[in-house]
Amino acid sequence: MQLGWIDFSDTDRKKALGILTMMDEEGAVDEIGIGRIRDAFANIFFPGTSTIMTRAKYYFIVPYAFKDALANRNLTKYKEIIKEVEDGIERKCAEKMLKKNPGSGNGIIGARSLARGEWVSRKPSSIYWNALRTVGMFTYENISTIESYVKVALANRDNIIEKTSKSDDAEEDCDDSDAFHRKMKPFWNLPEGGYNKRWITDISIDLTFDEAEFLRNQISTRYQDTLFKVMLDNNIRLPERMFFGDATELFFNIVSPRNQHLITLANKVNLLVYMIRVRYNKMLTRGLNQNVLDAWEDLKNETEYFADLDIRQMMYELKVYDTLTRIFLESAKTLLLEKRIDELDRLIYQREVALKGQRSKLAKANEYDPRSLVADYWLDFRMNTARTIINDILDAEQRNENDI
């Protein structure tokens, strides 16, 4: 099956590119079609995150880059501004940071591409745009795309007010038609003194103390009643790749009753999906992977525990209205509880083929190395993305304390 799109505009192209890129995201493999449920939990627990976000510094690199590009009066078209940001300033930042952090890349976007003399297709500004909007660093909530922002900013280069008081009409709706005719509040909410014309000279992947404190305040203020806020407010530093269930035990007693309930639901989803993925991997590896066989041996007598989930109620609470996914999970649960495992395998096979078509791995399992598995067994609901951002903030604060 070929996948394409009609390229009407840069916005359409980038949306399609984003979809194609997500198919290849590490940790985002979704062969059995539970992505909407996974993302619904993730958006509640860790809003504004995505699996391809790397380091907290990009919350600042992206707005700094746009401010630089828009200050360049030689750039007069919105496409020139976007190209300068994406292929000029953001690439230059990566190159400078890699000189300071040779080797693994340390979360620097484009490290592997630059090593080949290339640049990434998915740029930092695209990856972090939604995060900047939801965390309140981009101030116009009704300007939803980079393209729209740059067009409005270009038309109002000399018409942006420096400060806006709470009594101003800064919150009134802004659209492209009236933006040309009135003073506008700043597009970016940034730390005092954080941006200057020499910011890129000594760029580092690490946050400055002022940036860390600013981002801490934005997360704590904007992401109320989330695990993101709880972890940050309580300075919870998680080790890398910790399981979601193990991690949430560390702060389960200090989250709200609502989040305790959602954590419990997420853990039950994880258990059921784990069993399904073990069966998936058993089929993919054709019974030749001993680790998979051992995993199933440990599970096969524990189905009552691993399939203890009211799927219909869970999806209703998450507002995920996907009948086919609900039927698949309910059918898988029934077959597990009744130990009709051969039928479960057929159900999983049919589900993947229906979702993936010619890209189905199970339909051509003979082509795969039995040592290869499909992603991770466990869902982390973007906890590890949030962990990295929080650890970056805590590291900057720790460096500041050591310098005092």
Residue 9 lies in a domain: no
The DSSP code for 138 is B
Residue scoring higher pLDDT (178 or 391): 391
Q: What is the pLDDT of residues 55-99, one digit of tens each?
A: 999 999 999 999 999 999 999 899 999 999 999 999 999 999 998
Residue 107, burial from CB neighbour count under 10 angstroms (0-12, 13-18, 19+)? middle
Residue 11 lies in a domain: no
Please state the pTM of the whole predicted model.
Answer: 0.84
- Cα–Cα distance for residue pair 369/143, rounded to 1 Å: 47
Average pLDDT on 322-328 reads 96
Q: Are residues 144 and 232 in the same domain?
A: no
Is the distance from CB of 326 to CB of 315 less than 8 angstroms?
yes
Q: Is 28 helix (H, G, I), strand (E, B) or coil?
A: coil
pLDDT band at 184 (very low <50, low <70, confident <90, very high): confident
Q: Are residues 202 and 212 in the same domain?
A: no
Q: Which residue type occupies 49?
A: T
| Integer Rg of the chain from CA | 23
Q: Are residues 38 and 66 in the same domain?
A: no
In this predicted structure, the answer to whether residue 167 has a pLDDT above a threshold of 70 is no
Is the distance from CB of 65 to CB of 83 less than 8 angstroms?
no
Q: Are residues 265 and 309 in the same domain?
A: yes
Average pLDDT on 111-131 reads 94
Residue at which a domain ends, from 171, 206, 241: 206
Average pLDDT on 95-119 reads 88
* Number of domains the chain contains: 2
Average pLDDT on 149-154 reads 94
Q: What is the pLDDT of residues 362-394, one digit of tens each?
A: 999 999 899 887 756 789 999 999 999 999 999
Q: Are residues 167 and 218 in the same domain?
A: no
Q: Are residues 136 and 215 in the same domain?
A: no
The string of DSSP codes covering 61-74 is: HHHHHHHHHHH-TT
Residue at which a domain ends, from 187, 206, 225: 206
- Cα–Cα distance for residue pair 393/323, rounded to 1 Å: 41
Residue 14 lies in a domain: no
pLDDT band at 3 (very low <50, low <70, confident <90, very high): very low
Q: Are residues 245 and 157 in the same domain?
A: no
The DSSP code for 188 is B
The domain of 329 spans 28-47+208-404
Q: Is 50 helix (H, G, I), strand (E, B) or coil?
A: coil
Residue at which a domain ends, from 176, 206, 236: 206
In this predicted structure, the answer to whether residue 109 has a pLDDT above a threshold of 90 is yes
Name beta bridge partners: 138. Answer: 188
Q: Are residues 287 and 388 in the same domain?
A: yes
